[in-house]
Amino acid sequence: MKPKNIVVLMGGISPEREVSLRSGSAVAKALTEAGFNVSCIDVKDEKIEELEHMEIDVAFIALHGYFGEDGGVQELLESKGILYTGSGINASKLAMDKLATKKRFISAGLTTPSYITVTEFQEFVEIEQEVNKLGLPVVLKPTRNGSSIGISIIKDIKNLKTGLEKAFEFGYELLIEKYIKGRELTVGILDDKALPIIEIKPAVEFYNYDAKYKDNRTEYLIVKPNSERNANDLLNNIEFLPLSAYNEAQELALNAHKVLGCRGFSRVDMLMDNAGKFYLLEVNTIPGFTEKSLLPKAAKAAGISFPLLCKKITEIAFHNSLVSTDASIQN
């Protein structure tokens, strides 16, 4: 038994709406090419009443941010008995909350940058004192936003107030992390297996929203173990890691995926400092599916085309539900 009728949920009501529309359009095209009957819904509220009148085998969630990655749409779909792609309600909520994610990493013994949290209800002088204790430079992040929205690096304490004002536009609570200088790496996870590593080389100081979606100078390079180096790699912009480090990064990513309870697929972001130490940043339960997106690039490096990737994600969701149903019947 295989899924046939797929609805792609896209758009949404978060600041990442435009990115989601692009992701959803790409997914719909890929699934059509893969042979599915595909319908699309441009989500504009939290009810999605269009679902009531459709025959759906699987909902492919291409929503980012609020009511996409935070468990909200997952809860709605479960209440309607509709199968969906990606992680469940609890894992989605956990991964969307950067602070809760860090706490889970730490409790599991996984390395992540040192941090503090602050809220907009605190006096500026108090926040300033806490930041000085943590030590500059630091990275300011809203705890519940994606696509690097509202993030800034503070190197001079004089710029702290401006950075706080920018970040507080996207939530009352902020995560302030110790800045780690090093290589930006991302590892895609598909069906509980780590995909090839991608290194991100933005032309600007860090991988912000513009670097992700607007700046054509950002480079995305496949990373290979040193042991697999060959003469053609110099022509193909391949980066390298020692085999032990490569394996460590993939294992760390898979552990992060599992620790948060994710399923199906995800993308794990991390840093590798100049001493070769890895630091987990976050797990994206619904990474982008645009032409610049990293999970499709990693899948392609593993020999998985974009239509096949979307097909696999859909079938994983459908198969997992059948397994769960069989288990409940047996019990």
Choose the catalytic residue: 145, 147, 208, 266. 147
Which CATH code for domain 114-178?
3.30.1490.20
- Per the CB < 8 A criterion, the answer to whether 96 and 144 are in contact is yes
**Tens-place pLDDT, residues 262-311:** 999 999 999 999 999 999 999 999 999 986 799 999 999 999 999 999 99
Report whether pLDDT(33) > 50.
yes
What does the alpha-carbon distance between residue 10 and residue 27 come to, in Å, rounded to a whole number? 10
What pLDDT is attached to residue 320?
79
**Tens-place pLDDT, residues 89-98:** 999 999 999 9
Out of 107-121, 233-247, 260-274, which region has the weakest mean confidence (pLDDT)? 233-247
- Per the CB < 8 A criterion, the answer to whether 21 and 43 are in contact is no
Specify whether 284 is catalytic.
Answer: yes
Ranges of beta strands (E only) in the chain are 5-11, 37-43, 58-61, 115-119, 138-142, 152-154, 173-178, 182-190, 193-201, 219-225, 239-241, 265-273, 278-284
Report whether pLDDT(328) > 70.
no
Choose the catalytic residue: 66, 267, 279, 293. 267
SS3 216: coil
Out of 251-260, 271-280, 316-325, which region has the weakest mean confidence (pLDDT)? 316-325
**Tens-place pLDDT, residues 124-149:** 999 999 999 999 999 999 887 654 67
How many Cα atoms occupy the beta-carbon half-sphere of 263 within 13 Å? 19
pTM for this model (two decimals): 0.90
CATH class in words for 95-99+181-285: alpha beta
Strands of the 239-241 sheet, one edge to the other: 239-241, 219-225, 193-201, 182-190, 265-273, 278-284
Choose the catalytic residue: 16, 69, 70, 97. 16
Name residue, tokens 């290194």.
Answer: 199
What does the alpha-carbon distance between residue 78 and residue 89 come to, in Å, rounded to a whole number? 9
Specify whether 72 is catalytic.
Answer: no
Choose the catalytic residue: 144, 208, 288, 293. 288
Q: What is the 3-state secondary structure (H, E, C) of 68-113?
A: CCCCHHHHHHHHCCCCECCCCHHHHHHHHCHHHHHHHHHHCCCCCC
Give the residue, 290 or 251, on which the prediction is more confident.
251
Choose the catalytic residue: 57, 69, 97, 282. 282
What does the alpha-carbon distance between residue 317 and residue 319 come to, in Å, rounded to a whole number? 6
What does the alpha-carbon distance between residue 93 and residue 75 come to, in Å, rounded to a whole number? 11
What pLDDT is attached to residue 67?
95
Choose the catalytic residue: 11, 269, 279, 293. 269
What does the alpha-carbon distance between residue 138 and residue 174 come to, in Å, rounded to a whole number? 12
Q: What is the mean pLDDT of residues 19-42?
A: 97
What pLDDT is attached to residue 329?
27
Specify whether 16 is catalytic.
Answer: yes
Residue 60: alpha-carbon gap to chain centroid: 16
- Per the CB < 8 A criterion, the answer to whether 289 and 147 are in contact is no
Tokens in use for 174?
């902020």
* Of 111, 206, 203, the residue nearest 150 (C-alpha): 206
What pLDDT is attached to residue 135?
96
Fold of 5-86: Rossmann fold (3.40.50)
Choose the catalytic residue: 23, 152, 266, 284. 284
Beta strands at 115-119 and 173-178: parallel, antiparallel or unpaired: antiparallel
Q: Over the chain, what is the mean pLDDT?
A: 90
Q: What is the mean pLDDT of residues 194-202?
A: 94
Specify whether 305 is catalytic.
Answer: no
What pLDDT is attached to residue 207?
54
What pLDDT is attached to residue 331?
32
Specify whether 288 is catalytic.
Answer: yes
The structural domains of the chain, with segments of one domain joined by +, span 5-86, 95-99+181-285, 114-178
Choose the catalytic residue: 179, 207, 209, 213. 213
Specify whether 165 is catalytic.
Answer: no
Tokens in use for 42?
């441009």
